[in-house]
């Protein structure tokens, strides 16, 4: 079923055409990634979907009564609302119906046998409507989503939205969109405020729920795991690619190669014709030359494929080698507000390493960086830089960019001997040219401000680079340029990031910070993920074995001490039913472990069919979990019946 269809859509703002000739169709169950450089029109495309903008040309068709949920980057909530109320905000009508049912039930109770037929009919009608709209599963659904996004569902019922950080508000907004039961979900940078566990949960939720979604994201791993279509906005139009992000990259490269060959072939043909016309226009072949000239003038010209000149050109070049020991901690401890973020920990970063520092939101990664750089005192122990080590620090809040100067003056103050042309050339490498060098940072977008921060980082000529969430405001092309720059850097890097593709591509060691300790893993982030996955599978299997042992002990404790024999008595039948359910539970638990292992295997997503297959596995996983829960309930009922029959 088609939910949204664009046909020849153009969007203009005054004389400027932002989009032209955009055509694509979203059908139920599809998950689209919308990618493109900052300013390409991704957010405007969402506004066209929701009727917030009207196309200058073409049509946007929507299914009748289409329910659209939008996650924007600046969602606002009532400050007096609780976290749970905000997450369930899309169900205000359903919750109002629930309150009305409670009022009717109280009225019927007060009236007793005198309750009128109309009162009873209203109660029955509202109950049926409440059940039809999923009212009985509402609480469980909201609780599950809040838990998946890192909130305690119990605490969420009393905690006010007004007390949340910006990142936590973003997660509440995401919960509200997911819980709302919309036909089409529009997600604008949904992973920005999620830690690694939250991002993985969101991936599994979107795939297993069968949601139809359009997703704007700079997270390549997330796009690859979730999407089965990519809409690429470039050069004022949109191109559709089938598959996840990696499939898109491969297909785009082939398409650009084909376009370049066609352009070069036509250019060569035009040059040959033009040369013939020039040589023969005044000679005896002038009539033929004029005919060729008319045909050449009417020939539609192919456009060259979009180039990458607008992509940031960055290169980190240290001015000295530095010592082999870059950073050494000795029983370092970090406390804040009476809470221990890090117990005593000793570790070393050596020259040439790229260390990924990962951990859940709130674990203290940014505070640890500040302690390592002596921007805040250590609570215990010490941290010191090695000999001849020079640090450059990319801050998550971009506070290192002065706000009271023009971009030109910011760079010129750091390099006073540079000529005007050299300053402009440096800014040009980061996408600022012409009059834009006279802009001030307080008028820049987040992506532009991030590029200024990187332009300053390059000038430091440091041999130890520390990055705190460098990809938050960058588009995909710029992230890939940054990845290439770090790959080519002849120095040492400490990288805090939730961008798994970046971590997988760059890291040589991984520090996992959680619950006040650091696990120093001597391998890449990809290897760390595999280790964590296998550890989780082992833990799940051990838990399943423990549950099986506990069920066996419960059964034996309740079993009568009689000779084992077949019987048609109610006691024996109840026992046989319990044993059958126990075998079914063990079967489902084994399948849940197998499916979890298959979904966690990175090779699953390396083919164009990976996204589709992951969706099938995720749906089977959810179905199996449901069967497991039903078998557990049946086993508990059988055990209760067994015990009751024995007592009669």
Q: What pLDDT score does 561 carry? A: 45
In sequence order, what DSSP letters do the residues of 418-486 get, joined into one string? S-HHHHHHHHHTTT--GGGGG--GGGS-HHHHHHHHHHHHHHT--SEEEEESTTTT--HHHHHHHHHHH
SS3 for 72? Answer: coil
What is the distance between the alpha carbons of residues 510 and 301, in angstroms, rounded to a whole number? 52
In sequence order, what DSSP letters do the residues of 5-66 get, joined into one string? EEEEEEEEETTEEEEEEEEEEEETT-EEEEEE-TTSSHHHHHHHHTTSS--SEEEEEE-TT-
What is the distance between the alpha carbons of residues 54 and 335, in angstroms, rounded to a whole number? 53
Q: What is the pLDDT of residues 418-441, one digit of tens each?
A: 999 999 999 999 989 899 999 999
What is the distance between the alpha carbons of residues 634 and 620, in angstroms, rounded to a whole number? 21
> Would strands 57-62 and 31-36 be described as parallel, antiparallel, or unpaired?
unpaired
> Closest Cα to residue 176, out of 192, 158, 196, 156?
156
Name which of 29-43, 200-214, 405-419 the model is least confident about: 200-214
Host H or E run for residue 4: strand 2-13
What is the distance between the alpha carbons of residues 628 and 56, in angstroms, rounded to a whole number? 53
In sequence order, what DSSP letters do the residues of 191-257 get, joined into one string? TTT--HHHHHHHHHHHHHHT--EEEE-S-HHHHHHH-SEEEEEETTEEEEEESSHHHHHHHHHHHHH
Q: Exposed e or buried b for every residue in 407-426, given b needs 16+ CB within 10 A?
A: bbebbbeeeeeeeeeebbeb
**Does the pLDDT at position 565 exceed 50?**
no
Name which of 423-437, 499-513, 631-645 the model is least confident about: 631-645
Q: What is the CA radius of gyration of the chain?
A: 31
> Closest Cα to residue 18, out of 6, 10, 27?
10
The H helix count followed by the E strand count for the chain is: 20, 18
Q: How far is CA 262 from CA 95, 151, 225, 250, in A?
A: 60, 54, 34, 19
What is the distance between the alpha carbons of residues 145 and 177, in angstroms, rounded to a whole number? 10
> ∠ CA(230), CA(595), CA(141), 5° rounding?
70
What is the distance between the alpha carbons of residues 232 and 578, in angstroms, rounded to a whole number? 55
What is the distance between the alpha carbons of residues 522 and 528, in angstroms, rounded to a whole number? 9
Q: Looking at the domain covering 325-523, what would its CATH class be?
A: alpha beta
Burial class (CB in 10 A: 0-12, 13-18, 19+), 16: exposed
Among 37-41, 45-49, 299-303, 559-563, name the most confident range.
Answer: 45-49
Specify the higher pLDDT residue, 162 or 74.
162
What is the distance between the alpha carbons of residues 102 and 543, in angstroms, rounded to a whole number? 40
pLDDT averaged over the chain? 86
SS3 for 111? Answer: helix
SS (H, E, C) 15-27: CEEEEEEEEEEEE
Q: What pLDDT score does 643 carry? A: 67
> Closest Cα to residue 432, out of 52, 264, 423?
423
Angle between helices 525-558 and 570-599 (to 10 degrees): 180
Q: Exposed e or buried b for every residue in 309-323, given b needs 16+ CB within 10 A?
A: eebbebebebeeebe
Specify the higher pLDDT residue, 609 or 322.
322
In sequence order, what DSSP letters do the residues of 143-191 get, joined into one string? HHHHHHTT--HHHHTT-BGGG--HHHHHHHHHHHHHHT--SEEEEESTT
Q: How many CB atoms lie within 10 A of CB 67?
A: 13
Q: Which two tokens stand for residue 432?
A: 């600022």
CB neighbours of 246 closer than 8 A, spacing ≥ 6? 224, 605, 606
By the 8 A CB rule, do 438 and 364 touch? no
Q: What is the pLDDT of residues 142-200, one digit of tens each?
A: 888 888 888 888 898 888 888 887 778 888 888 888 887 789 999 999 888 888 888 98
Among 115-124, 350-359, 472-481, 585-594, name the most confident range.
Answer: 350-359
What is the distance between the alpha carbons of residues 539 and 548, in angstroms, rounded to a whole number? 14
Q: Which two tokens stand for residue 342?
A: 């890090």
Average pLDDT over residues 545-552: 74
Determine the straight-line distance between the first and last CA of the chain, rounded to whole angstroms.
Answer: 57
Residue 541's pLDDT band, with cuts at 50, 70 and 90, is confident
With a pLDDT cut of 70, the percent of the chain lying above it is 90
SS3 for 560? Answer: coil
Q: What pLDDT score does 341 carry? A: 94
Q: What are phi and psi of 577, to 5 degrees?
A: -65, -40
**Does the pLDDT at position 602 exceed 80?**
no
> Closest Cα to residue 246, out of 23, 22, 501?
501
Host H or E run for residue 336: strand 325-336
Residue 333's pLDDT band, with cuts at 50, 70 and 90, is very high
Domain ranges of the chain: 248-298, 325-523, 529-647
By the 8 A CB rule, do 614 and 599 touch? yes
Q: What pLDDT score does 646 carry? A: 61
By the 8 A CB rule, do 390 and 462 touch? yes
By the 8 A CB rule, do 27 and 1 touch? yes
For tokens 């979890």, the residue is: 596
What is the distance between the alpha carbons of residues 643 and 648, in angstroms, rounded to a whole number? 9
């Amino acid at each position: 079923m088609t939910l949204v269809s664009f046909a020849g859509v153009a969007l203009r703002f005054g004389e400027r055409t932002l989009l032209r000739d955009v055509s694509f169709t979203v059908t139920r169950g599809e998950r689209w990634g919308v990618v493109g450089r900052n300013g390409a029109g991704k957010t405007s495309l969402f506004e066209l979907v929701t009727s917030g903008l009207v196309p200058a040309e073409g049509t946007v068709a929507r299914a009748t009564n289409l329910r659209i949920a939008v996650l924007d980057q600046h969602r606002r909530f009532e400050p007096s609302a609780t976290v749970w109320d905000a997450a369930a905000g899309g169900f205000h009508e359903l919750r109002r119906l629930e309150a009305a049912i409670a009022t009717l039930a109280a009225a019927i109770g007060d009236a007793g046998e005198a309750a009128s037929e109309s009162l009873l009919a209203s109660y029955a009608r509202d109950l049926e409507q409440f059940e039809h709209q999923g009212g009985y599963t509402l609480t469980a659904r909201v609780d599950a989503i809040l838990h998946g996004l890192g909130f305690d569902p119990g605490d969420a019922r009393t905690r006010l939205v007004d007390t949340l950080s910006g990142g936590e508000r973003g997660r509440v907004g995401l919960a509200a969109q997911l819980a709302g039961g919309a036909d089409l979900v529009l997600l604008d940078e949904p992973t920005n405020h999620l830690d690694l566990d939250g991002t993985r949960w969101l991936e599994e939720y979107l795939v297993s729920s069968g949601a139809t979604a359009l997703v704007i994201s700079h997270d390549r791993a997330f796009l690859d795991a979730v999407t089965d279509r990519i809409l690429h906005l470039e050069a004022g139009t949109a191109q559709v690619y089938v598959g996840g992000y990696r499939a898109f990259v491969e297909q785009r490269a082939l398409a650009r190669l084909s376009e370049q060959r066609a352009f070069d072939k036509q250019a060569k043909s035009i040059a040959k014709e033009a040369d013939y016309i020039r040589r023969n226009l005044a000679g005896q072949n002038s009539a033929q030359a004029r005919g060729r000239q008319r045909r050449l003038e009417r020939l539609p010209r192919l456009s060259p494929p979009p180039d990458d000149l607008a992509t940031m050109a960055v290169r980190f070049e240290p001015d000295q080698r530095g010592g082999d020991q870059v950073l050494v901690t000795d029983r370092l401890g970090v406390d804040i507000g009476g809470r221990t973020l890090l117990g005593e920990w000793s570790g070393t970063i050596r020259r040439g390493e790229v260390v990924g520092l990962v951990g859940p939101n709130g674990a203290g990664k940014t505070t640890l960086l500040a302690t390592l750089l002596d921007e805040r005192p250590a609570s215990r122990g010490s941290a010191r830089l090695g000999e001849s080590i020079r640090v450059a620090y990319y801050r998550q809040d971009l506070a290192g960019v002065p706000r009271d100067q023009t971009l030109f003056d910011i760079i010129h103050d750091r390099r006073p001997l540079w000529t005007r042309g050299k300053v402009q050339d440096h800014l040009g490498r980061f996408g600022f040219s012409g009059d834009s060098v006279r802009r001030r940072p307080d008028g820049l977008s987040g992506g532009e401000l991030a590029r200024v921060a990187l332009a300053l980082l390059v000038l430091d000529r440091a041999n130890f680079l520390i990055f705190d969430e460098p990809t938050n405001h960058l588009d995909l092309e710029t992230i890939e340029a940054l990845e290439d720059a770090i790959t080519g850097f002849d120095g040492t890097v400490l990288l805090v990031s939730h961008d798994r593709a970046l971590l997988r591509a760059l890291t040589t060691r991984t520090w996992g910070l959680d619950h006040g300790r650091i696990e120093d893993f001597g391998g890449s982030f990809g290897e760390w993920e595999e280790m964590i996955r296998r550890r989780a599978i082992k833990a799940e299997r051990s838990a399943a074995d423990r549950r099986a042992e506990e069920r066996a002990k419960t059964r034996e404790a309740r079993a009568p001490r009689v000779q084992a024999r077949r019987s048609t008595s109610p006691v024996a039948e109840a026992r046989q039913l319990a044993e059958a359910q126990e075998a079914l539970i063990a079967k489902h638990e084994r399948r849940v472990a197998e499916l979890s292992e298959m979904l966690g295997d990175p090779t699953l997503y390396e083919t164009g069919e990976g996204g589709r297959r992951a969706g099938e596995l995720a749906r089977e996983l959810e179905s199996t979990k449901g069967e497991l829960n039903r078998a557990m309930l049946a086993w508990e009922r059988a055990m209760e019946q067994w015990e009751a029959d024995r007592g009669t």
